[in-house]
Structure 1
Amino acid sequence: MRKLMLAGSLLALALTGCGNPSANGDAQSNAAAATIRWNEAAVGQLRKAIERRAAHGLDHMRFAVEGQVGSAEGEKALTQSALRYAAAVARGATDPAKLQDIYTIPRPEADLRPGLAGALSDGKLDDWIDSLAPQNDQYRKLSKAYLALRGSGDKAAAIPDTKPLKPGATDPRVPAIVAQLVASDYLDRAEGQGTLYTPAMVRAVQHMQIDYGIEPDGVIGGEALEILNLSDADRARALAVAMERMRWLERTPPATRIDVNIAAGRLAYWRDGKLADTRKVVVGKPGKETPQLGSPIYRLVANPTWTVPRSIQNGEIAKKGSAYLRRNDMAWKDGWIVQQPGPQNALGLVKFDMKNEHSIYLHDTPAKSLFDEVQRQRSHGCVRVEDALGFAQMLARDEGILDEWQKARATGKESFVDLPRAIPVRLYYQTVLFDDAGEPVVRADPYGWNDAVAAALGFPERQGFRLRASGDDIGP
């Protein structure tokens, strides 16, 4: 089993005072509101908690402590100030559904008023607010790394742009270049030693240049350095966004689930609370982005047919002619182009049907070489799974339907096998991963989705190189 720690997938502890709101819950909240009593010590705790907001990457946002002890209106204002900051720590300071066209991943539900009332009664307001954040090692390490970087401003880049670095040259900047190439998965650590710009490094740089639409000459000049270089401010910004994205996620996700990190092109399968499997995936290319969804797999489809969506049919197949359709085992049926089952089918040999209104699902693919890419944003939006047949076999075995699945496969015809229970899937976006030592590593932002989150958190705008849309196969 390959080991992979995905940011945001180990949210294990529940929020204090969490639960689905209900009519009874609203009544309890109203009752709790009546018991909220402020004193000067509590106001001091609130101020200190907000002063420490950098620990959550929220120091670019303003959280005013308004109101004063001694009047109903003043204490109401204090309560609103406390609840606003508590909500930012508990659920995120931003609303992902407003920042993205599509966002349906379940978020934490927090009825904060009873928690606030209890914290004020116990005299432990600051402890209560701290308890609302994700309580796991990954979040703590993001916080620690952010605090170490904040306030450093735009320091000189880690890799100075003194002169172009050409293949075969020796340069003191090479170790820093190697470190970033390794962190970005373009280079194996063993292939970069010393200060020599080696052929292995040149190939890695050329690969990166192709991904970002730069002439792949292997020369590390200004454009390549702009991709490789991250200032302390850039890293801090990415860490703050990563913490915000983690706060958006449930603290107690389903123990059996599938998490897909769209930004990293990686899948993690959790079984009964334990990481059972990880593998690469291919997701939507820029312009055809895979949306952030919470959507369950409810059945396996053996030997699937593929009904070509109108967008692909009209945009990419319409001009190819009847010979192309015959060559790819496609035919018109009821006004749609349908590709018959087989190893060359765009869905491969298995489809994982999901329930959502966006026609997004997981599937196999005949384009196996795409899993060898570093930046695996290559599809039309659906998620292609590495060794999808092996993954389907694993799910079927774990769900007790292995015999039924194998019989369906053997027919060679499109066959449907329902799962006895739907398996939740989260398609989320996280650009900070964790290395083998558990330390945060800032990776590429292939869709540029971090920009809107960073702006909402109060960070200045930053524009860098974006991944170039590529991949010419017609699969979903």
Structure 2
Amino acid sequence: KPDGIVGSGTIDILNKGPGDRARQLAVNLERLRWLDRKPPETRIDVNTAAATLAYWRDGALRDRRNVVVGQPDWETPELGSPIFQLVAHPYWRVPKSILEDELIEKSPAYLAEQGLEWRDGRLVQLPGPKNSLGEVKFDMRNDNAIYLHDTPAKALFALPERHRSHGCIRVQDALGFAMLLASDDGVIVPFQEKLMEFDQEGFVKLKQEVPVRLMYRTAFLDDGQVRIADDIYGWDDEVAYALGYVRRPPRAKLKQAGGDVGP
């Protein structure tokens, strides 16, 4: 962040030499080797290290935007999982981990103010302006309860450091992105109809599931240029060690200020 203050992140960058960059490139080339040589022509790639999203359609880059991903200790995992449906005005069914970590001691008045209520022994947030999933959720098939979604915390997308969620992926202008996916898939009309049913959860299945790849890349190509991202999760070290580099002491995982209870 350009604040004129030499913080730990700036010092870390200044201290890196050519050997460190070579190590970082080797780690990320190894990660590329793990992937299919020919990725799906239509897909969504999320780089959780850089907190960015790229949407590919029929082999061409269709859209790019910022995302907010898991903060250290709530890391967004690396996985492949398709989006199979869009959810308009979603309910948020609060996971047990967030309930115990963030909400268990909150007063009934606070919960009511946030649109949270107990239903069948589960804390649920109703659709509305304070709902942590915003106006749309992108349902995905995986065992980690990881998905893409909207958020009322729009200001986070303008920050240079966007590792502030509890693991799920918040999408910049998620409603616009959902409209783009729905239009490309031929389900824009039913999706718009569900959006018009305010405060009522509505589901629209995609005709063709869209593969999503959640990847951690601290060195990557961007418009033909090599870009570097901070190894905020500290995941580079294990890969580097497996490649024969000297193991380094684990980095302290610093959570970013200004987080919220959303997924």
TM-score (norm 1): 0.53
Q: How many residues are paired up? A: 261
Aligned to 1:296, the other structure's residue is in SS state strand
> How is 1:313-392 mapped onto 2 (pairs within 5 angstroms)?
313-392=99-178
2:261 aligns with: 474
Does residue 400 of structure 1 match 2:225?
A: no
The one-letter code of the counterpart of 2:77 is P
Contact 1:227–1:464 (CA<8 Å) still a contact in 2?
no
Contact 1:299–1:418 (CA<8 Å) still a contact in 2?
yes
Query: Cα distance 1:394–1:311, how it changes in 2: closer, same or farther (>3 A)?
Result: same
Q: CA deviation at 1:442?
A: 2.6
Contact 1:446–1:466 (CA<8 Å) still a contact in 2?
no
> Given the alignment, which residue of 399, 416, 427 partners 2:214?
427
Query: Using the alignment, how far apart are the partners of 1:420 and 1:398 within structure 2?
Result: 10
Q: Deviations over 1:179-208 (max 9, x none)?
A: xxxxxxx4xxxxxxxxxxxxxx5x1x44x7
Query: Using the alignment, how far apart are the partners of 1:442 and 1:257 within structure 2?
Result: 23
Q: CA deviation at 1:466?
A: 5.0
Report the structure, 1 or 2, having the larger helix content. Answer: 1
Which blocks of at least 5 consecutive residues in structure 2 are unaligned? none
The one-letter code of the counterpart of 1:472 is G
Query: Using the alignment, how far apart are the partners of 1:467 and 1:364 within structure 2?
Result: 26
Q: CA deviation at 1:374?
A: 1.3
Q: CA deviation at 1:468?
A: 1.4
Instruction: Indicate the structure whose relative CO is greater, using CA pairs within 8 Å and at least 6 residues apart.
Output: 2
Which blocks of at least 5 consecutive residues in structure 1 are unaligned? 1-185, 187-200, 213-222
Report the structure, 1 or 2, having the larger strand content. Answer: 2
Aligned to 2:49, the other structure's residue is in SS state coil
Contact 1:226–1:465 (CA<8 Å) still a contact in 2?
no
1:416 aligns with: 203
2:93 aligns with: 307
Contact 2:24–2:218 (CA<8 Å) still a contact in 1?
yes
The one-letter code of the counterpart of 2:211 is P
Query: Cα distance 1:361–1:435, how it changes in 2: closer, same or farther (>3 A)?
Result: closer
> How is 1:157-196 mapped onto 2 (pairs within 5 angstroms)?
186=1
Query: Cα distance 1:466–1:375, how it changes in 2: closer, same or farther (>3 A)?
Result: farther
Q: CA deviation at 1:472?
A: 3.0
State the 4+ residue runs in structure 1 displaced beyond 4 angstroms.
463-467
Q: Deviations over 1:303-347 (max 9, x none)?
A: 001011111112211111101111011110011111100121000
The one-letter code of the counterpart of 2:72 is P
**Percent identity over paired residues:** 53
2:247 aligns with: 461
Contact 1:451–1:461 (CA<8 Å) still a contact in 2?
yes
Superposed CA RMSD = 1.6
TM-score (norm 2): 0.95
Does residue 253 of structure 1 match 2:71?
A: no
| Structure with larger Rg | 1
